[in-house]
Amino acid sequence: MSETKQAKTGKAGAPGVRVTLKRSPIGTPERHRLVLRGLGLRHIRQTAVHPDTPQVRGMILKVGYLLEVGKP
């Protein structure tokens, strides 16, 4: 596993989640757009990998209607 991939997911081999922005945040509340920015998503079809923590899960639940979530 590359060094940059380890830095994003935490420990090597740690379970994580892959989130992809599927719908435009135009017209959504400002707080939802800030959550997307916190997840590192700025463009449609952009994907980010995060560790599977309660904080990340809460962010995904808040804007889940805009995302597609899967395993990395």
Judged against a pLDDT cut of 60, whether residue 9 lies above it is answered with: no
List of long-range contacts for 36-42, beta carbons under 8 Å, 24+ apart: 36/63, 36/66, 39/63, 41/67
Q: State the pLDDT confidence band at 13, using cuts at 50, 70 and 90.
A: low
Judged against a pLDDT cut of 60, whether residue 5 lies above it is answered with: no
Instruction: Name residue 47's beta-bridge partners.
Output: 20
Say which residues have a Cβ less than 8 Å from residue 31's Cβ, sequence separation at least 6: 62
Q: What are the structure tokens assigned to 59, written together?
A: 């962010």
Higher pLDDT, 15 or 3: 15
Judged against a pLDDT cut of 80, whether residue 7 lies above it is answered with: no
Residue 15's pLDDT is 86
DSSP letters, 5-33, are HHHHHSSTT--EEEEEE-S--TTS-HHHH
Q: State the pLDDT confidence band at 59, using cuts at 50, 70 and 90.
A: very high
